[in-house]
Structures are given as structure tokens and as C-alpha cells.
Amino acid sequence: MDQMGTHYNTWIVLLSFALAVTAAYSALNLISKVPHSTGRIRRLWLMSAACVLGSGMWAMHFVGIMATHFPFEIGYRPGRAVLSLLVSMLCSFGALWIATVPRQRMWRRTLSGLILGAGISVMHYIGISSMEIEGKMHYEPLAQAISVLIALLASYIGIFLFRRFREQEYFSRRWKFASALFIGFAVTGMHYISLRTSYFQYDGWNGTKPVVMETDVILLTGVSLVTLFMLAISGGAVFLDRHVLERMAYHDPLTELPNRHGLERYFRDEFFGDNPGAVFFVDLDRFKSINDTLGHDIGDLLLQEVADRLRTCVGSKGKVFRLGGDEFLIALPDSSIENAQEEALHILQELKKSYSIEGNELYVTASVGISMTPAHGTDRSALMKAADTALYTSKDSGKNKFSVFDQEMNRYQLRRMSLEKDLRKALARSEFMVVYQPKWDSLMNVTVGLEALLRWKHPDHGIISPAEFIPIAEETGLIVPITYWMLQDVCVQNMSWHKDQIANVPVSINMSARMFENGSLYDVVSEALASSGLEPHFLELEITESIAMNNMEETVAQLSKLRDIGVRVSLDDFGTGFSSLGNLDEIPVNTLKIDQVFIRKSKMHSKKAIISNIIAIASNLNMEVVAEGVETPEQIELLQSLGCRVMQGFYYGRPMPVNELGQWFIENTA
């Protein structure tokens, strides 16, 4: 029986160490994607990293065996060799899975290091047991314990460095490499210390000096394939990340424009420079109507066409992004305010040209808001906020326009936000009040009706104009509970006037389109009438032409139910909307109200002709007619000559609160 030591090929030893470090570094690259992904993608990164690390450690182990000069020839048991590979991958998966748990604690890092170190050790001893030799291998217990301890300690340090510094920007270079070095040292250190402190008992060896082992072709082929497998996974994952997943994460699938994530990266890495730049918010006008009438498929095709036109307009001067829906953002990193205005005008002209989509000839306009750097901000968030504010100004001023941000816009938006916040509390704080404006029969000289108008008495700003707060209430939906309250209040007040014999006239209330959305208008009105005891014909609902034309069938159905119980309906601002005269006779309306725009310009022959025709239409359809905005005797004389007798305006009375209206009734009773 002879005992022989082992010798190593230094270059192959270094190669095995480099292989282990490379595998660890590649695995850390892959695992760094895990915190930013979820679900299947997260598991894919974990499995890829585990396969790379596990196969790399396994390949290092068998390359290390090939680096060793044994005094005899050896063979391998394929089953155990494969088992050692599976153990290496499974332990790598477990260690990396624990290491990527978001809330990391000391015991988790320790457990992760223990699993990785234990996997290295178990893989090593299974790999050694796969060797077929004519003799026995003996281990020094203390030396083997030291080798296992080195594997555990170095694995823990590698995991600790990964967890401790992975959120820092420079981790991808310095600390990631240091972590890979320790993991590589855990594998190679354990392997070579274990082999170096082991010895063989070989009964049949007769030589006097060691001979170089004949490398097993199967083992070499297996190690080569596993190494290629490791490199293939690493390369495939990098390709997938850069060319597939990155595109999915940073680009909009419909238009292929960069999305919000791409926008953040662009502003972080490329946009800001020494020269001024411009940011455009582009929003399509009335795009929702195209989706509603022609369907979302046509809408999507239109968005693709719009994206192509924006790309063509901007060209190489900047970049176009899609933020979602029909909102786009354009970044021009080197642009003066004059160039930005010219570019915005060019974009508006191009977008409003006709689109031919699946046999439909479509027209769409856009509104644009512009902000400039550094004048309006030096970071992405400030510039986008300023451009968005300018966009609202373009929308409010009639659409198909562009606006450049200024501080007045900012003050307006801040006030609007403040009013919206306070508006949500105004009803509970009883800050609303109702004022009433008389409708006067100019021939009989009597009050024939009242219009109830909403006012907001703000505790800090005083009386807020309806023109300012009503659009906010409409947009937020707060107009619905406010109108519920107003119906109750007006019906109770009118009933009070009846009981006190102060007035006995119908009162009209303006209705919002929001009131018709959920189909509960009839129930709300019926409840207000029942709780107040007011007879239905003393309540009149005023609607606009746009309300009547929007979902006309449903609107007519709701109004018809109210007409059937006696509630009156008037069509407000007639002549300024988009209704068709062909549908006017289908709407259950008692009264047409001539808009004050025509009354104010009644000296013009064209306006006089329009007023005359409206009065004739109302007469032929057996409707009453009321003229709004009457302020002068000349206007009264003209309206009487054309056949209109009921008028409303400052000439007869301004909107008055309840306490003033009682005295007004007494003074103006015929």
C-alpha cells in the first residue's frame, strides 16, 4: 500500500478561479434585475442566475480536477457528476432567492451565505465521490472543516457585499466584482484546500514518480458543454434584457414611441445641457368622441397615425413620447422659445389635416402646452408640470392652440386647485346660497317666474363667480350633490312663498349633464317635490342644447317622465349650441330661452333675423319664449315688436337673495 500526494497545473488552477469569478459576476448581473421585476419575469431572472452560478461552480470543480496530477488513471460516474451539478444549481437558487428578499435582515443574509457555502461543499464531495479509482481517498477532518468554513465564510461575505451595496450606483463595477471575487474564492478555496489536505491509498501502484492523468474525453466534453451553457444563458439573458424586455419596459406597444419609463431615462441621461430646451405637452381634442362613435380599434389606428406625424415633425431635433391615452410629450433639447413656437404651430397644422382610416375620413385637432428650461424648471417634474399647466390654458381658450407657460397660468392653476379642495367641503359647511332673478311679462307688467342661481360664499375669498367654480364642480362630479341640495332648497323656499302669499310663480333650476348620467333625475326631483309639498308645475328644469343632444334618447326619456307629472322644461341659451332643428320637436320642452348674445347685438340686422326666427319656431311648436339679458328700453321695444313678451335681465331685476326678493315682490306687484 502506497500513499501519494497530488500536484497541480498552475495555469489551469488560475483558469478555474477565473471561471468561478466570471460565473459569479454574471449571476450577480442577472440577479440585479430581480428587484425591478415581478411574477414570471422575476422567476426567470432568478432561475437564470442560479443556472449560471451553479453551472459555473460545477465547471470550476471539474476543471480543478483536470488541473490535478494524479499518480494513476481515474474514471467518473456520470450519475453522481450530474447530481453534483443539480445540487449546485438548487443551492444557488435558494441562496439567491433569499438574498433578493426586499426587507433584508441579518439572519437572512446569514442563511443565504450558509446555503451557498453548503451547496459548494456538498457539490464538491459528491463530485469527488463520482471519481472511480483503484484505492481510497482519506480526509483530514480538521483540514476539511477549515475548507468548509472557508466556503461558508467567503459565501457570506459575497452575499453581504451584494446586499449591502447593490442599491448604490457604483455597485455595478466595484462592489459587484468584489462580491464575485469572494464567491469565486469560496468555490476554489474550498476545492483546492480539500484536495490538498487529502491523500490516496493505492494498493497496486508500482511507479516511482507521478504521471500526468490522461484527461477523460467525456469529462472534458461535459465541462465544455456546461461552460457553454452558462455563457449561453448569460448572453441570452443580456440580449433579452436589452432588446426585448427593455423595449417592453421603455416603449409603448401601440405607437412604438418611448413611454413614461423611457421619458424618465431620457431626461435623466440626455435632455439637460448647456442650451435652453423645450418640453411640449400635446393632447388631442375631442378624441373620446371618436372612440365612442367609431370604436377603440379606429381610435388606436388614429393614435398610430398621430404618432407617425409627430415623429415626422420633430425628426432629429428631439424625441416624442406617449404618456398614455391621447397624451404625447415632445422634448426638444436645444430650442429657443421662438423655435418652440414655430414648431408648435407646425405640429398643430400637421395634426389637423385629414386622416383616412379604414374608409373613414377623420379630422382631429390638438392643444399644446410649452415649458422652457431653465426658465420654467431645471428638472423633469417641474417642466412637465409647467407644460401641463400651459396645456390647460390652451384647452380653456378654445383648443387647437398652443400656449407657453407663464407665472399667471401657475397662479390660475394654484387657485383652481385650492378652490377644488375647498369646493369638496363647501356643501357640508353650508357655504352655498341661492339667488333669484325674475322673469317679467312686459305686457302685463307682472312676474311670471324666477330663475334660481347658485352662489358660493367662500370664507376667505368672498363670493366666487359661478363661471369659476361651476366648471370645477362639473369636472369633479360635485355638481350632482350640489344640485340635489339646490332642488330641495328651491322647492322648500318656493313653497314658503306660496304659504305666505308673497309669490305664486314657477322657479327654474339649471341642470348639469351629470344629472342625466345615472338615470336617477326623476327620483331626485320627485323626492324634492314630495318633501316640500310643492306642486310639480311650479318647478322648471333648464337644460342646454348640448345636454339635449348628448345621448338624446335617454335624455328625452327622463325629461318625458318629469313632463308627465307636470314639471316644466326649458331649453336655455337656444341658438348657440349644436342641436338640429329637426330634433327640436322631439325634445319635451315648454320654453325656448333666447341667448343674451343675440339680445346684446340686437341692433344688427342678422341678429334681429335670428331672434325673429327663434320666436317663430317657438310659436309654431306651441312653446313659450323668454329673452335673456334684457337691459335697455330699446331691446324691450324690439322684442315686443317681434312677438316676445317674457323677458329676463338687469332691466327688470338683478339676481337677488331671498331676503331682498321678498321686498322686491311687494314693490313690483301689479
Q: Considering only the C-alpha atoms of the chain, give the largest distance between any 2 of them, rounded to a whole number of Å.
A: 140
Handedness of CA 392, 395, 398, 400 (dihedral sign): positive
84 and 59 Cβ atoms separated by less than 8 Å: no
- CA atoms of 10 and 7, how far apart (whole Å): 9
In-domain check, residue 146? yes
Most confident of 71-80, 362-371, 567-576: 362-371
Q: What angle do CA 601, 603, 607 make, to 5 degrees?
A: 60
User: What would the grid cell of residue 473 be?
Assistant: 364642480
Asked if pLDDT for residue 89 goes beyond 80, the answer is: yes
Q: 218 and 72 share a domain? A: yes
Q: 506 and 614 share a domain? A: yes
| pLDDT for the residue numbered 320 | 93
Read off the CATH number of the domain in which 298 is found.
Answer: 3.30.70.270
603 and 553 Cβ atoms separated by less than 8 Å: no
How sure is the predictor about 2, in pLDDT bands with cuts at 50, 70 and 90?
Answer: very low
Full residue range of the structural domain in which residue 347 is found: 260-405
| pLDDT for the residue numbered 202 | 58
In-domain check, residue 119? yes
What number of other Cβ atoms are within 10 A of residue 620's Cβ? 9
pLDDT tens track for 304-346: 999 999 999 998 889 999 988 899 999 998 888 999 999 999 9
Closest CA to 236 of 34, 93, 51, 20: 51
What does the pLDDT average to over 194-221?
A: 51
| pLDDT for the residue numbered 527 | 94
In-domain check, residue 410? no
Asked if pLDDT for residue 165 goes beyond 90, the answer is: no
How sure is the predictor about 303, in pLDDT bands with cuts at 50, 70 and 90?
Answer: very high
Find the length of the chain.
670
What does the pLDDT average to over 403-416?
A: 83
**To the nearest whole percent, how much of the chain has pLDDT over 90?**
31
Closest CA to 200 of 140, 143, 136, 128: 136
What does the pLDDT average to over 58-84?
A: 69
Three-state secondary structure of 562-621: HHHCCCEEEEEEECCCCCCHHHHCCCCCCEEEECHHHHHCCCCHHHHHHHHHHHHHHHHC
197 and 138 Cβ atoms separated by less than 8 Å: no
pLDDT tens track for 471-487: 899 888 899 999 999 99
Q: 474 and 570 share a domain? A: yes
pLDDT tens track for 486-531: 999 999 999 999 998 888 899 999 998 888 888 889 999 999 999 9
Asked if pLDDT for residue 626 goes beyond 90, the answer is: yes
| pLDDT for the residue numbered 244 | 52
Asked if pLDDT for residue 223 goes beyond 70, the answer is: no
Q: 116 and 201 share a domain? A: yes
Q: 264 and 189 share a domain? A: no
Stated pTM of the model: 0.56
Asked if pLDDT for residue 390 goes beyond 80, the answer is: yes
CA 118: distance to chain centroid?
46
Distances (CA, A) of 432 to 459, 494, 524: 11, 17, 19
Q: In the listed set 357, 372, 405, which residue is the last one of a domain according to the structure? A: 405
- CA atoms of 393 and 327, how far apart (whole Å): 16
In-domain check, residue 26? yes
365 and 351 Cβ atoms separated by less than 8 Å: yes
What does the pLDDT average to over 614-618?
A: 90
Q: In the listed set 228, 248, 268, which residue is the last one of a domain according to the structure? A: 248
How sure is the predictor about 242, in pLDDT bands with cuts at 50, 70 and 90?
Answer: low
Asked if pLDDT for residue 396 goes beyond 60, the answer is: yes
Q: In the listed set 347, 371, 405, which residue is the last one of a domain according to the structure? A: 405
- CA atoms of 257 and 255, how far apart (whole Å): 5
What does the pLDDT average to over 42-66?
A: 75
| pLDDT for the residue numbered 213 | 35
Closest CA to 97 of 42, 144, 146: 42
| pLDDT for the residue numbered 207 | 40
| pLDDT for the residue numbered 421 | 92
In-domain check, residue 415? no
* Mean pLDDT (the chain, rounded): 81
DSSP state of 212: P
| pLDDT for the residue numbered 208 | 38
Q: 109 and 72 share a domain? A: yes
Mean pLDDT lowest among 205-214, 519-528, 541-550: 205-214
| pLDDT for the residue numbered 581 | 66
How sure is the predictor about 214, in pLDDT bands with cuts at 50, 70 and 90?
Answer: very low
In-domain check, residue 1? no
In-domain check, residue 413? no
Q: 144 and 267 share a domain? A: no
Count Cα neighbours of 256 within 13 Å in the Cβ-side half-sphere: 6
Amino acid at 192: Y
Domain count, the chain: 3
Q: 590 and 512 share a domain? A: yes
Closest CA to 54 of 15, 35, 32, 26: 26
The CA-to-CA distance between both ends of the chain, in Å, stands at 138
Read off the CATH number of the domain in which 572 is found.
Answer: 3.20.20.450
User: What would the grid cell of residue 449 be?
Assistant: 317666474
Q: 538 and 508 share a domain? A: yes
φ, ψ of residue 24 to 5 degrees: the values are: -65, -45
Q: Which residue has the higher pLDDT, 149 or 12?
A: 149
Inter-axis angle of helices 78-99 and 39-66, to 10 degrees?
130
Mean pLDDT lowest among 106-110, 133-137, 481-485: 133-137
Asked if pLDDT for residue 463 goes beyond 70, the answer is: yes
| pLDDT for the residue numbered 104 | 60
| pLDDT for the residue numbered 525 | 94
Q: 128 and 73 share a domain? A: yes
What does the pLDDT average to over 456-485?
A: 91
| pLDDT for the residue numbered 4 | 40
Q: 383 and 445 share a domain? A: no
Mean pLDDT lowest among 42-56, 267-281, 383-397, 490-504: 42-56
Q: 477 and 371 share a domain? A: no
How sure is the predictor about 171, in pLDDT bands with cuts at 50, 70 and 90?
Answer: very low
What does the pLDDT average to over 614-622?
A: 90
In-domain check, residue 507? yes
Residues 6+ apart with CB under 8 A from 31: 45, 46, 49, 96, 99, 100, 162
Asked if pLDDT for residue 19 goes beyond 90, the answer is: no
Asked if pLDDT for residue 168 goes beyond 60, the answer is: no
